[in-house]
Amino acid sequence: MNEEMKLFFDEVLVLLEEKKYIQLRELFTEAKAADLAELIEEVAEEYPNNTTIIFRLLPKDLAADVFSYLSPTQKRNIVDTLHENQLRNIVEELNFDDKIDFLEEMPANVVKRILKRVTDDERKLINQFLNYPEFSAGSLMTIEYVSLKKEMTVAEALQHIRMNGIDKETIYTCYVLNETRKLEGIISLRKLILADDHLKVAEIMDVDVISTTTLDDQEEVADLFKKYDLMSLPVVDREDRLVGIITIDDIVDVIEQENTEDFEKMAALLPSEEEYMNTGIFLLARRRIVWLLVLMISATFTENIIGRFEDVLSAVVILAAAIPMLMDTAGNAGNQTSTLIIRGIALGEIELDDYLKVLWKEFRISILVGIMLASVNFVRMLLISNASLAIAITVSLTLALTVIMAKLFGGMLPILAKRMKLDPAIMAGPLITTIVDAMALVVYFNIAGIILGLY
Amino acid sequence: MNEEMKLFFDEVLVLLEEKKYIQLRELFTEAKAADLAELIEEVAEEYPNNTTIIFRLLPKDLAADVFSYLSPTQKRNIVDTLHENQLRNIVEELNFDDKIDFLEEMPANVVKRILKRVTDDERKLINQFLNYPEFSAGSLMTIEYVSLKKEMTVAEALQHIRMNGIDKETIYTCYVLNETRKLEGIISLRKLILADDHLKVAEIMDVDVISTTTLDDQEEVADLFKKYDLMSLPVVDREDRLVGIITIDDIVDVIEQENTEDFEKMAALLPSEEEYMNTGIFLLARRRIVWLLVLMISATFTENIIGRFEDVLSAVVILAAAIPMLMDTAGNAGNQTSTLIIRGIALGEIELDDYLKVLWKEFRISILVGIMLASVNFVRMLLISNASLAIAITVSLTLALTVIMAKLFGGMLPILAKRMKLDPAIMAGPLITTIVDAMALVVYFNIAGIILGLY
């Protein structure tokens, strides 16, 4: 909460305490829906019984708006306290895409309660939208758009927008459809406003339309918005008929969602859309245990390797002292590279045929970085750790070689994953570290054996 | 490149080869600016000499549009081949905010060349904008907005927009200013279009305006867009006078930039805005070496710890075998938690006073996860690694304890960093791993000493 929200929060609490509901209602009427939603979330944390009172004090049209900003958890809590009529009012006032989101988040019994109350036509439409797969373009779109005909003049089109625009998600881009609802072009309100009244829509509309289809992945949809600086995007079916539109406000959420998913995958977590604070510990534990187990069991290799070199280690026990430093540095070096590559792929800066360029680049960088780290380490071991010359050389040489290996693997594996149609984000720090660790140990003991004359 | 772009690319190459410049020009006129920019970037990689030809074939107004989509590297390359007149034409056609971005990216001599050619007034304005700090609201804004007066009727306002809207960044939100340019309210084109012609702007404008100031950080600006689903945001000075506006297309870039910065910081990289493929290896190496050195030197602690327990290790050399697995698992467990917390803070889902709740949650999760990992490991060591019971118990117990420590540190340090006004993203995997590794070793050798009866 920022300062302003804190003042608002405190004011509301005082008025609630004093049961001054008329003043509260006035205060709410002037507030922004997003702020009221934040208020309800905060109140829910500290005074859960007051959320319903606040919600019921909201004017009807504002209530739906506030509701659409709430977290799924809060939506469920409030729905449980609403009467049938109140629930119907809220649902009626919701934008179509918010309505679909809401139904997707609710348990089956609530969905049933709501669908009982709508007309047959709307139920059919809602069911169609509920059937679009999660994370698809279809699941993001709304049907509340303005459609025009290409025979209209600019003046007629503006008149049409004035008559029909009130409950549309956007009126800034209008869609030109023929009798079979085939998308023939788009035209922005800007172009209409700035054009001569007598021109025909057909003369000034944009016919080279960027569009998507219902089953396209939301990440690809977001990429289109980013590349072409779009405000909205039409969604068409196989016959090029318009089935809905996607607006930029939903895309901003998609971008953050996709980023969160990458952050989570890169940290060896199973992704989830639930907010951390609202998720139970069993669910959170389950998202973590899978990869931890896989990686732990993979580490059996490193155990075997050390076991195999037990003789070397027994002869010079102090060799063990450098193992954590070698593993961590190799892991960090690999993680740096794989993060840059994963991010570059996600942003479209690195393409699959950049494979060799990336490897060549990482090879040269890793030599620079490897030599520098090895030199500093060499001096450090001699001066600070009082290590013998042979041990210092062994460790430093291993360090340089493992950094090079780590960076090559870090550069290679994400691109390889992408080529195999896997998400590059899984080839991040944790997995790279495990792979590189095993190799680092083999290198280490072999170099030690040679330099220390143990073979 | 997608399929369509590949076809376009190949077609352009053939026409270039055959020197069919008239057909090329036609092809370009029908293409989208973002596609042409992508084409130039691709051509630059494989046939660098052809980029200038392509750019010169673009119609004048399209050229500026394409130019604004290019990477800084390509912009520099093209500017170097342009004559004074051509450069001036491009610069004149650029939107004001793209012009400022461009000047920020160019070397000083190019900036001088350009500023020589503009009017005194414009130079003053450009210099003012160039002085806003990087990543501030001021550096994102444009001056191309529509301003209205509150005495205007809706009809007059619409007429004003028609007369003045053509070169504005957006006409969908208009800004109501008084004589001293103080921001009195905003009104959307939607509201104007849907309202009665005779109403006054003052009667229907929104006076409770969300705004920002020039020096605010771009991350806070992006948060406002996300929270309130904004399309544009006014930027005001201390006297509440409007100095510019920020539009959503620039915010989408900011969101990706801020995410990239977090990814990089969390991978122990110094953040940079340059694209990977266009950055030299020395610069890339420098961004990596700093943290690698810091973390490597910090690992001296782990070396000391193992050195101190050399007796324990000499007695039971095989203890060394489990060290990599223990370090990796602890690092992964800490990394999972810190990633969730860093992300939760960035998205505003976790607040600073959630401190104790996070710790309590992580404590319970880590017990679940720790016990499960330790059990699997115990069985694994006995059955697969043929370890002795004492060693299996030592390793498994250490595993459970270090996972708990790692998750508590991973939950605590990002929030602590935020409280100390540091970026939570630095308290990620690499640093957490280094800290937890040292603690894990102390725990390990102490448990080993007790269970194996070495003290």
- Residue that the structure tokens 């859309």 belong to: A273
* Contact at CB, B385 and A300, closer than 8 angstroms: yes
pLDDT for position B455? 62
Round to whole Å and give the CA distance between B103 and B108.
9
Residue A166: which of B194, B276, B323 has the nearest Cβ? Answer: B194
| C-alpha distances out from residue A255 to A145, B13, B259, Å | 23, 34, 10
Asked which of A358-367, B20-29, B83-92, B304-313 is least confident by mean pLDDT, the reply is: B304-313
pLDDT tens digits, one per residue of B166-196: 888 888 999 999 999 999 999 999 899 888 8
Written as one string, the DSSP assignment of A107-153 is -HHHHHHHHTTS-HHHHHHHHHHHTSPTTBHHHH-BS---EE-TTSB
Q: How far apart are CA B428 and CA A15, in angstroms?
A: 42
CA–CA distance from B207 to each of A30, A103, B150, B187, B202 (Å)?
10, 34, 11, 9, 9
Whole-number Å distance between alpha carbons of B327 and A306: 14
Instruction: Kindly state the DSSP code that residue B238 receives in the 8-state scheme.
Output: T
Name chain B contacts of A323, Cβ cutoff 8 Å: 306, 320, 323-324
Decide if A335 and B306 are in contact by the 8 Å CB cutoff: no
Q: At what angle do helices B108-115 and B120-130 cross, to 10 degrees?
A: 150
The residues near A279 (Cβ < 8 Å, ≥ 6 apart) are: A272
Residue B28, C-beta contacts closer than 8 angstroms, at least 6 positions apart: B36, B54, B57, B58, B59, B62
Whole-Å CA distances, A170 to A175, A232, B190, B197: 11, 8, 8, 21
Chain A contacts in chain B segment 38-57 (CB below 8 A): 38
- Distance in Å, alpha carbon of A17 to nearest chain B alpha carbon: 23
In this predicted model, which residue has the larger pLDDT, B335 or B274?
Answer: B335
- Cα-based angle B97, B261, A345 (whole degrees, multiple of 5): 90
3-state SS, residue A284: helix
What is the C-alpha separation between B442 and B5, in angstroms, rounded? 58
The domain segmentation of chain B, as residue ranges, is: 3-131, 146-247, 299-451
Say how far apart CA A191 and CA A266 lie, in whole Å: 44
Contact yes or no for B376/B400 (Cβ under 8 A): no
DSSP string, B348-390: TSS-GGGHHHHHHHHHHHHHHHHHHHHHHHHHHHHHTS---HH
- Look at strands A232-236 and A212-213 and give their pairing: parallel
Q: Report the C-alpha gap between B277 and B139 in whole angstroms.
A: 25
A451 at interface of B, judged by CB pairs closer than 8 A:
no
A210 touching B (Cβ < 8 Å): yes
Q: Nearest chain A residue to B357 by CA: give it.
A: A277
- Choose among B358, B349, B288: nearest CA to A260: B349
Q: Does A246 touch chain B (CB under 8 A)?
A: no
Report B:266-325 residues touching A (Cβ under 8 A).
266-269, 275-277, 281-282, 284-285, 288-289, 291-293, 295-297, 299-300, 302-304, 306-307, 310, 313-314, 317-318, 320-325
Chain B residues whose beta carbon lies within 8 Å of the beta carbon of residue A62: none
Q: What percent of chain B has pLDDT over 90?
A: 15
Can you read off the two tokens belonging to residue A288?
């973590």
CA B100/CA B104 separation, integer angstroms: 6
Q: Do A300 and B384 touch (CB under 8 A)?
A: yes
What CA dihedral angle connects A417, A421, A425 and A430, to 10 degrees?
Answer: -40
* Residue of B269, B275, B368 lying closest to A336 (CB–CB): B269
Give the closest-approach CA distance of A229 to chain B in angstroms: 6
Q: Do A320 and B306 touch (CB under 8 A)?
A: yes
List, as own/partner pairs, every contact residues A424-427 make where C-beta atoms lie below 8 angstroms and the sequence separation is at least 24, other chains included.
A424/A341, A424/A342, A424/A345, A424/A346, A425/A261, A425/A262, A425/A265, A425/A266, A425/A342, A425/A346, A426/A265, A426/A266, A427/A338, A427/A342
Distance CA B251, CA A371 (A): 41
CA distance A82 to B415: 37
CA A313 from centre of chain: 46
Tell me how far the alpha carbon of residue A136 is from its chain's centroid. Answer: 14
Higher pLDDT, B249 or A313: B249
Instruction: Supply A113's token pair.
Output: 């309660």
CB contact under 8 A, B268 and A300: no
CB proximity B376 to A under 8 Å: yes
The residues of chain A scoring below 50 in pLDDT are none
- Min Cα distance A446 → chain B (Å) is 16
| CATH number attached to the domain at B146-247 | 3.10.580.10
Q: What DSSP state is assigned to residue B424?
A: G
More confident of the two residues A296 and B95: B95
Contact B97, B169 (CB under 8 A): yes
CA angle (A238 as vertex; A237, A240 as ends), nearest 5: 65
- CA–CA separation, B99 and A230 (whole Å): 20
How far is B362 from B365, CA to CA, in rounded Å? 5
- Asked if A296 and B377 come within 8 Å (Cβ–Cβ), the reply is yes
Are A193 and B361 inside 8 Å of each other by CB? no
Q: Note the pLDDT of residue B332.
A: 85
- The residue type at B404: I
Do A324 and B314 lie within an 8 Å CB cutoff? no
Looking at residue A1, what is its pLDDT? 67
Residues ≥6 apart with Cβ < 8 Å to A176: A147, A148, A149, A150, A183, A184, A185, A186, A187, A201, A202, A205
In angstroms, the CA A12 to CA A6 distance is 10
Of the two residues A144 and B271, the one the predictor is more confident about is A144
For A267, the closest of B227, B269, B339 (CB atoms) is: B339
The shares of helix, strand and coil residues in chain B, as percent rounded to the nearest 5, are: 70, 10, 25
**Contacts A324 to B, Cβ<8 Å:** 299, 302-303, 306, 323-324, 327, 437, 441
Task: Find out whether B404 and B370 touch, Cβ atoms under 8 Å.
Answer: yes
Range ranked top by mean pLDDT from A226-240, A377-391, B41-55, B426-440? A226-240
Contact A288 B365 (CB under 8 A): yes
Strand A147-148 with A173-177, pairing: parallel
How far apart CA A97 and CA B203 sit, in angstroms, is 31
User: Using a CB cutoff of 8 Å and minimum separation of 24, what contacts does A102-111 make?
Assistant: A102/A67, A102/A68, A102/A75, A103/A130, A104/A130, A104/A134, A104/A139, A105/A72, A105/A75, A105/A76, A106/A75, A106/A76, A106/A79, A107/A76, A110/A76, A110/A79
> What is the radius of gyration, based on Cα positions, of chain B?
30
A281:B368 CB<8 A: yes
Q: Does B37 touch chain A (CB under 8 A)?
A: no
Residue that has been written with the tokens 């070698």 in this structure: A326
Determine, for residues A321 and B307 on separate chains, whether the beta-carbon distance falls below 8 Å. yes
Q: Reduced to 3 DSSP states, what percent helix, strand and coil does chain A have, rounded to the nearest 5? A: 70, 5, 25
Distance CA A32, CA A58 (A): 11
Question: pLDDT class for B126, splitting at 50, 70, 90?
Answer: confident
Tell me the residues of chain A between 98 and 127 that have a Cβ less than 8 Å away from chain B. none
pLDDT tens string B279-336: 777 777 777 777 777 777 777 788 778 777 777 777 777 788 888 888 888 888 888 8
Closest C-alpha among B451, B439, B435, B433 to residue B395: B451
CB contact under 8 A, B325 and A275: no
CATH number corresponding to A147-247: 3.10.580.10
The 10 Å Cβ neighbour count of residue A354 is: 18
Contact B402, B425 (CB under 8 A): no
Residue count of chain B: 455
Q: What is the pLDDT of residue B232?
A: 92
**What ipTM was predicted for this assembly?**
0.80
**Are B8 and B35 in contact, with CB atoms under 8 Å apart?**
yes
pLDDT in tens, B356-377: 888 888 888 888 889 988 998 8
Closest C-alpha among A132, A130, A136 to residue A219: A136
Residue-level pLDDT at B330: 87
DSSP result, A301-326: HHHHHHHHTHHHHHHTGGGGGGHHHH
Chain B interface, mutation test: which of A335, A357, A384, most B Cβ atoms within 10 Å?
Answer: A335
Read out DSSP for A221-257? HHHHHHHHT-SEEEEE-TT-BEEEEEEHHHHHHHHHH
Q: Which CATH architecture has domain B299-451?
A: Orthogonal Bundle (1.10)
Q: What pLDDT does residue B183 have?
A: 93
| Protein fold of A3-131 | MgtE N-terminal fold (1.25.60)
Question: With contact defined as beta carbons under 8 Å apart, do A428 and A335 qualify?
Answer: yes
d(CA A328, CA B331): 9
Q: CA–CA separation, B77 vs B94, rounded Å?
A: 18
What pLDDT does B246 receive?
Answer: 92
Residues of B in contact with A229 (CB under 8 A): 34, 249, 252
CA–CA gap between residue B308 and residue A321 (Å, rounded): 9
Residues of B within 8 A of A262 (CB-CB) are 263
Beta bridge partners, B244, equal B235
